[in-house]
Structure 1
Amino acid sequence: MKIAMASDHAGFALKEEIKTYLQNQGHEVLDFGAHSEDACDLPDTVYPASLAVGEGKADRGIFVDGVGYGSAMIANKIYGVYAAVCQDPFCANLARSHSDTNVLCIGGKIIGSAIAMEIVKTWMTTEYLGDTEEKYRRRVGKVQAIAEKHLQKLG
């Protein structure tokens, strides 16, 4: 699977750790930065990574900033991107199984490495239940209808 990754300076170290894990699992990582702990602006990395997911150049995305919310706010502005902030494996499971998210956002300042890795493992291996349970397919469909109405498709 191709995974777009992005961070700011606050999420750089954790992004690098997650990237190594994903590569060791056989995934291809598209790293949009940051490439160091030097101060940078989150939109400069998350926006192009979000576009990669929205355009189908990446299957999923994992973004790491200070608390995760900045990345989610940016990512969810892009047509075809469904991002969730997850702070524990339970939320990661629900974000995939109930909501079919394709972008995971993590807060590098509030989540330690061990829990972050469990979140990533859970999110990456959890299947969407909408393929077998109509209620999830219906609910996600309503969210997609909102996107169709208000977001511009990528050309």
Structure 2
Amino acid sequence: MKIGIASDHRGYALKGRIIALLRNLEQETYDFGPDTPESVDYPDFGSTVASAVSRGELDRGILICGTGMGMAIVANKFDGVLAAPCHDDITAEMARMHNDANVLCLSSDLLGDRLVNRMVEIFLKTDFEGGRHARRIAKIRQYEADARSTAESRSAEAQEV
């Protein structure tokens, strides 16, 4: 599996530890930066992994920032990317099993190494369940494809309450 990983400065150290885990798991791993722990803007690095996932160059991505939220917001701007900020084993498993997430977003400030290692392994080994979840993901993909026209028509349909 081809995995891309990136972080901001707050996630720099955790990124290095996850890269070591991925190598140990014999995953084809690509480091999208940063190369130093100096302060950087998370959108600059999250977008690189998300773009590669969107283009089909990577099977999965892992993004790390202080909370995982900023990276998820950035990554979800790219077509075909389903980025999930996860905080435990269950959310990592369900992100894959029910939501077909292809980018795992992690908090460097809130998660310990053992938990992160388990979450990464779970995220990589868990398959999408399909079934009723496939129908839901298809709807998300359709919303994504029709984003501009859907946004315009949805706002026109809204009624004051």
* C-alpha RMSD of matched pairs (Å): 1.0
Structure 2 residue 125 is matched with structure 1 residue 139 = no
Identity of aligned residues (%): 39
How far did residue 115 of structure 1 move?
0.8
Question: What does residue range 4-23 of structure 1 map to in structure 2 within 5 Å?
Answer: 4-23=4-23
Give the Å deviation of 1:150. 1.3
Alignment of 1:51-130 (within 5 A): 51-130=51-130
Give the drift of 1:30: 1.2
The Cα of 1:114 is off from its aligned counterpart by 1.2
2: CA distance between counterparts of 1:79 and 1:91?
A: 22
The whole-number CA distance in structure 2 between the counterparts of 1:142 and 1:127 is 19
- One-letter amino acid of the counterpart of residue 136, structure 2: R
In structure 1, the residue corresponding to 2:99 is in which secondary structure?
Answer: coil
Aligned counterparts of 2:68 and 2:108: Cα–Cα separation in 1: 8
Q: Which residue of 1 aligns with 2:28?
A: 28
Distance (whole Å) between structure 1 residues aligned to residue 49 and residue 133 of structure 2: 27
Please tell me the residue identity of whatever aligns with 1:6.
A
Q: Secondary structure at the match of 2:11?
A: helix
Per the normalisation by structure 1, the TM-score is 0.92
Distance of 2:79 and 2:22 partners within structure 1: 25
Structure 1 outlier segments of 4+, above 3 Å: none
Task: Tell me the equivalent position of 1:149.
Answer: 146
- State the alpha-carbon separation in 2 of the partners of residues 26 and 115 from structure 1: 20
Distance 1:87 1:65 in 2: 13
Q: Tell which deviates more after alignment, 57-66 or 19-28.
A: 19-28
Alignment TM-score, normalising by the size of structure 2: 0.89
1:2 maps to which residue?
Answer: 2
Unaligned regions of 5+ residues in structure 1, if any? none
- Look up the SS of the partner of 1:57 in the other structure: coil
1:47 equivalent in structure 2: 47
Paired positions, count: 148
Cα shift at 1:140: 1.0
Return the letter of the residue paired with 1:32: F
SS in 2 for 1:129: coil
The unaligned stretches of length 5 or more in structure 2 are 149-161
Q: SS where residue 145 of structure 2 aligns?
A: helix
